[in-house]
Amino acid sequence: MADAAEQKTGEACIIDGKAFAAGLRATVGAKVAKVKSEHGLTPGLAVVLVGEDPASQIYVRNKGKQTLEAGMNSYEFKLPDTASEDEVLTRVEALNADPDVHGILVQLPLPEQVNEARILDAIDPAKDVDGFHVINVGRLWTGLPSLVPCTPQGCLIMLKDTLGNLTGKKALIVGRSNIVGKPIAQLLLREHCTVTLAHSRTQDLAAECRTADILVAAVGRPQMIRGDWIKPGATVIDVGINRVPKEGEDGKTRLVGDIHFGEAVKVAGAITPVPGGVGPMTIACLLNNALIAACRQAGVDVPD
Ligand code: NDP
pLDDT computed for residue 250 by the predictor: 87
Distance (Å) from CA 95 to ligand 1 centroid: 30
Q: Which fold has domain 149-280?
A: Rossmann fold (3.40.50)
45-84 CB burial, b ≥16 within 10 A, e <16? bbbbbbbebeebeebbeebeebbeebbbbbbebebeeebe
Distance (Å) from CA 285 to ligand 1 centroid: 20
Q: For 21, what's the count of Cα atoms within 13 Å in the CB-facing half-sphere? A: 24
Task: From the CA of 220, give the closest atom in ligand 1.
Answer: 32
CATH number, span 40-124: 3.40.50.10860
Q: Are 166 and 188 in contact (CB under 8 A)?
A: yes
For 243, residues 6+ apart whose C-beta sits below 8 A from its C-beta are: 253, 254, 255
- Confirm or reject: Cβ of 240 under 6 Å from ligand 1: yes
Residue from 108, 180, 226 whose mutation best tests the ligand 1 pocket (most atoms within 8 A of CB): 180
- Confirm or reject: Cβ of 237 under 6 Å from ligand 1: no
> In the chain, what are the helix, strand and coil shares in percent, each to the nearest 5?
45, 15, 40
Q: What is the edge-to-edge ordering of all strands in the sheet holding 73-79? A: 73-79, 44-50, 103-106
Per the rule left: phi > 0, alpha: psi between -120 and 50, beta: everything else, 135 is alpha
Mean pLDDT computed over 10-39 = 97
Provide the sign of the torsion angle of the four alpha carbons 72, 109, 139, 141, taken in this order.
positive
What are the tens digits of pLDDT across the range 44-71?
Answer: 999 999 999 988 999 999 999 999 999 9
Say if residue 5's pLDDT is above 80: no
Domain edges within the chain: 40-124, 149-280
Active site residue ranges: 63, 107, 130
- Confirm or reject: Cβ of 221 under 6 Å from ligand 1: yes
Residue 173, classed as helix, strand or coil, is strand
- Confirm or reject: Cβ of 51 under 6 Å from ligand 1: no
Residue 1, classed as helix, strand or coil, is coil
Confidence of residue 289 (pLDDT cuts 50, 70, 90): very high
Amino acid (1-letter code) at residue 22: A
What are the tens digits of pLDDT across the range 22-32?
Answer: 999 999 999 99
Say if residue 3's pLDDT is above 60: no
- Confirm or reject: Cβ of 185 under 6 Å from ligand 1: no
Distance (Å) from CA 18 to ligand 1 centroid: 22
Task: From the CA of 174, give the closest atom in ligand 1.
Answer: 21
Residue 120 CB coordination number (10 Å): 20
pLDDT computed for residue 1 by the predictor: 44
Distance (Å) from CA 293 to ligand 1 centroid: 28
Say if residue 178's pLDDT is above 60: yes
d(CA 113, CA 92): 16
pLDDT computed for residue 114 by the predictor: 98
pLDDT computed for residue 10 by the predictor: 79
pTM: 0.95
